[in-house]
Chains A and B, each alone.
Chain A
């Protein structure tokens, strides 16, 4: 019988050379007459070990990593096909501490299955949620999601069940499910990993959403920077259509749901839901005034559910195991699990899916192993470019939406970006403003013009010119942005800027005295 060998096809694994490793393993096996079945799985999310090669043994899957192409002949010599010891041997994959201590609900299959194999998906509990949903009344599906306590994972943390109920209650000839797959935040990659590593879970989640609210069409608005996700989604959608999981008569139920992937074109603001809808309609991605809410007048003026990838990908397990099962993870009003992404200057970057409540310190040191450079960690930005910079004194904050807002920070999409003590926080504050200027949709003045002025003001502070007056000006400007912006791009850019100023004043020349 042939031995199963897994080499990830996740784009970060590819970025670290996985394709070449897979090729060389194939060639080496052929040369030696070894009978192997090479499977391209998603990534387990242990990126410091990528490319991580797994071999199926009678005792389960064991892993080796990071494997370079040149290591492959030696691995064969050492008998890795039998799971033998070797300098690259990590051990049984499920026993790796980083992975073993996680609570993977949404990402249960990512890294395990062949992402584009429908059979593999079904063999690993796939489509059980949809089968159950097909036997339920739409309102009961909505109730199950409400009971789970799921809040949107895209940033705003709005309760998903309430959003669905609004769309469910609308009377309309057409409703839509739109998946926000724009994932523009720096430090985030869990949407990407889910789409590349388990696209069917998103398709299943969207189909269930369609049944729940009475929508027969769905769009995945995918950022153009994700070509691997694009391919995998399209392959999976095609397979789902072919097997009757999508189309006019889903599994003979008489219910229909259609799905298409649409590509964005490199605009951060198109992650904002109303801008995204404008873009899907073929317009410039200008943010819309709310109300009306997209739930009532969304895509092409019709009631529309807009949800993030991870939100929708969490729905199948909620339907399969029940809302209560999911709700039993987490703390306070933050229920279930959050896929946390450890990135930046960190020794063990990767995906950590945990119930809400884990502290930043545990993540940074127990999981992340400290900085990659070996220097002290000085600042951590949580929640993308609009998130606050946190100093060491706040590392004990538990990951929980309310706990973060209590310290004027945001969890956002769960991205954690680490900086060591070489970081210049005035420069990071300047960058945040510059980013806002580059990505502003231009609809409101504070964001369009204020961000450019903000860069100039920070430049003057850095140069030490009239520091006191310019700091005052910067705070004033942030206030205007906070209160006068239509969307969170302008409205939240003060978070990184002011937190940097607040916690790292020395980088802004605060100790020096300047004439005001």
Chain B
């Protein structure tokens, strides 16, 4: 259904469905990012007017949280854990490998728009460090070789 709607309409639909919740802003931002992959700038005035907030307030909230993004991500987002438990199991080497393999740094998207790379500080998978998450799938004990396999497999999924 959402396919036939314009981006503005999709944003509006998310706002409509959630605006009556107490503390609706975070659910709305999640809703928009789930639908569009990011929170486009035109969402800000739309949210502000519906929730009776200033644009600056809405923008301030979006920029406060690491998870919200204001630019379109690649087809898949790879979250790489940089926290202590993963570091104790060579996350740093994995980090270097991942950046090289994808040809991007953190907060960037590969030229072919397939992958975005984001750092995270613990995925709760510390019993199988180092860990990564690709979209919503987690992978544990990730060696550089395993990283390449995962990336290839995810690519093939289409």
Contact = CB atoms under 8 A, between A and B. Distances in A.
User: Among the interface residues B60, B122, B137, B141, which one has the most CB atoms of the partner chain A within 10 A?
Assistant: B122
Given A12-B140, A265-B65, A186 B128 contact: no
B23 A189 contact: no
Contacts of A14: 137-138
Interface stretch (A67-75, A203-211, A221-229): A221-229
B68 interface: yes
Interface in A316-355: 341-345, 349-351
Contact of B89 (A45, A341, A344): A344
Given A279-B26, A341-B126, A431 B89 contact: no
Contact of A282 (B24, B85, B88, B126): B24
Chain A contact residues: over half helix, strand or loop, or mixed?
mixed
A345 B139 CA distance: 17
B124 A47 contact: no
A49 to B, nearest CB: 11
Contacts of B87: 428, 431
B141 A186 contact: no
Given A265-B26, A345-B89, A186 B68 contact: no
A284 B120 contact: no
User: Among the interface residues B27, B124, B136, which one has the most CB atoms of the partner chain A within 10 A?
Assistant: B124
B35 interface: no
Contacts of A268: 121
B128 A187 contact: no
A439 B121 contact: yes
A400 interface: no
Nearest to A183: B124
Contacts of B129: 343-344
Interface string A276-293: 000111111100000000
A283 B61 contact: yes
B140 A186 contact: no
A115 interface: no
A227 B136 contact: yes
B146 to A, nearest CB: 11
B48 interface: no
User: Among the interface residues A192, A225, A345, which one has the most CB atoms of the partner chain B within 10 A?
Assistant: A225
Interface string B96-129: 0000000000000000000000001111111111
Contacts of A191: 124
Contacts of B136: 227
A14 B138 CA distance: 7
A16 B141 contact: yes
B128 A263 contact: no
A126 B137 CA distance: 30
A442 to B, nearest CB: 9
A370 interface: no
Given A189-B126, A279-B26, A285-B65, 15 more contacts: A12-B127, A15-B140, A47-B128, A186-B121, A191-B124, A225-B122, A262-B27, A265-B66, A265-B67, A266-B120, A342-B127, A344-B88, A344-B129, A417-B126, A428-B84
10 contacts: A12-B140, A45-B127, A183-B124, A188-B122, A189-B126, A264-B67, A344-B126, A349-B126, A349-B127, A417-B88
| A-B residue pairs, 5 tightest by C-beta | A282-B25, A266-B67, A265-B65, A15-B140, A186-B83
Interface of A: 11-12, 14-16, 45, 47, 50, 183-189, 191-192, 224-227, 262-268, 279-285, 300, 341-345, 349-351, 372, 381, 385, 415, 417-420, 423, 428, 431, 435, 438-439
